[in-house]
Amino acid sequence: VRLLAQSPLVKAIYGSLEYPPNSGNNLHLDRVSRALESLGYTEPDDALLKESLDSLHFRDKPNAPLTLDEFAVIVYNFETKRAIQLKAQFDAIDMDSSGAIDVGEFRRLLWDMGFSVSRMTVEEILGEVDKDLSGKVELREFEFALKLVYERFGFSLKEVKDIMEIFDKYDTDESGVMSPDELAGAMGWIGHPATIEQAKAVIERHVDTENYILSRPEFLRIMRCIVEEELEDSATSSARLTAIAQAAWTPQNSMGFCWIWGSQCRIPSWRMQ
C-alpha cells in the first residue's frame, strides 16, 4: 500500500481529481470511481469499492474525502482482485501448461478484452517486460504487460506521448484538465469536428463525471473509445482503409498525424496500424 501511495501515476490521478485539481483538499468519494477508471479499472466493482471503504476503520467521518494513503488502500484491493483474474486468464491461454504464451496469443487476448491493438504495439509492450529475452511471456511478465495496457488504454508509449501533446495543445488555460470546449478543439484536430454540446455528449458517454471536466487519463480513455468506435464502424463497411487509401497517406508529422492527399483530413497514425 505504501508503494502505491508513492506511485507517480497514482499520485497524479489522485491530485488531478481533487477539487480543485491538486488543491490538497483530498479525494471526494463521488470521484473515487473516476480515479479507479483512470488507473485502468474500467467499470469498478461497486461491492469491492464499498468493502474497501468499510475497511478504512480510522476515518473521522464515513463521508469524508479520502487521503492519498486511504485511496492507495482501495487501489491495492482492486489490484489484488485483478491479479487473481489475470492468473485465471493466463492459465486459460497457456493450454499446454508451459508457463508461457507467445505474442499472437497475447494480442488475441487483448482484442478479446476490447483493445484493438496493432502487432507493433504488442511487440513494444512485450519488449518492455520480456526481461529474460525469451520471446515468450511468462506470468509475471504477463501481469506487468497488462498493467501497461490498462494504464495506457491499449496505446503504445509513442501514441500516448502524441495524445498527451494534443491534450497540452488544447488545454488552453493550462489548468491540467480539459473542458468541453477544449475537447471539441482536440476532436477537430484528430479529424472529428464537434460542437461543445457534442463534446459534452462524448464525455457523458464514456466518463462518470458531473462537471464535464476531464483529467489527462480520462482524455486518453476517450481517445481509445473513439478509436474503437471507428474500428467498429469501419468493420461494418469496408474493414478499414483500402490499399489505394493507404498509398495516399503522407508521412507523419511531428505529432504522429498524417494527411490524406486531396482531403482536409488529419488522421492519427495509430489508425493505420
Q: What is the pLDDT of residues 179-232, one digit of tens each?
A: 999 999 999 998 889 999 999 999 988 887 778 889 898 899 899 888 878 777
Q: What percent of the chain has pLDDT over 90?
A: 33
Q: What is the 3-state secondary structure (H, E, C) of 118-155?
A: CHHHHHHHHHHHCCCCCCCEEHHHHHHHHHHHHHHCCC
Residues whose CB is less than 8 angstroms from the CB of residue 130 and which lie 6 or more positions away in sequence, other chains included: 136, 137, 141
Cell numbers found for residue 221:
480513455
Give the pLDDT score at 21: 81
Nearest to 216 by CA among 146, 155, 125: 155
d(CA 30, CA 43): 14
Q: What is the pLDDT of residues 78-122, one digit of tens each?
A: 999 989 988 998 888 888 888 888 888 888 888 877 777 778 888
Mean pLDDT of the chain: 81
Residue 6: CA count within 13 A, CB half-sphere: 3
Mean pLDDT of 41-54: 91
d(CA 140, CA 159): 25
Give the pLDDT score at 228: 78
In the chain, where are the structural domains located? 2-82, 94-152, 157-239
Q: DSSP assignment of 84-126, as one string?
A: HHHHHHHHHH-TT--SEE-HHHHHHHHHHTT----HHHHHHHH
Q: The cell 476531464 sits on which residue? A: 214
Give the pLDDT score at 178: 93
Give the pLDDT score at 229: 80
pLDDT band at 54 (very low <50, low <70, confident <90, very high): very high
**pTM of the full structure:** 0.68
Rounded alpha-carbon distances, angstroms, from residue 172 to 110, 134, 169, 188, 204: 35, 46, 7, 15, 22
- Does 265 score more than 60 pLDDT? no
- Which architecture characterizes domain 157-239 according to CATH? Orthogonal Bundle (1.10)
User: Yes or no: is domain 94-152 CATH 2.40.110.20?
Assistant: no
Q: Are 77 and 14 in contact (CB under 8 A)?
A: no
Give the pLDDT score at 236: 56
Residue 13 CB neighbour total at 10 angstroms: 24
Determine the longest span between alpha carbons in the chain, in angstroms: 65
Domains 94-152 and 157-239 share a fold: yes
Give the pLDDT score at 113: 76
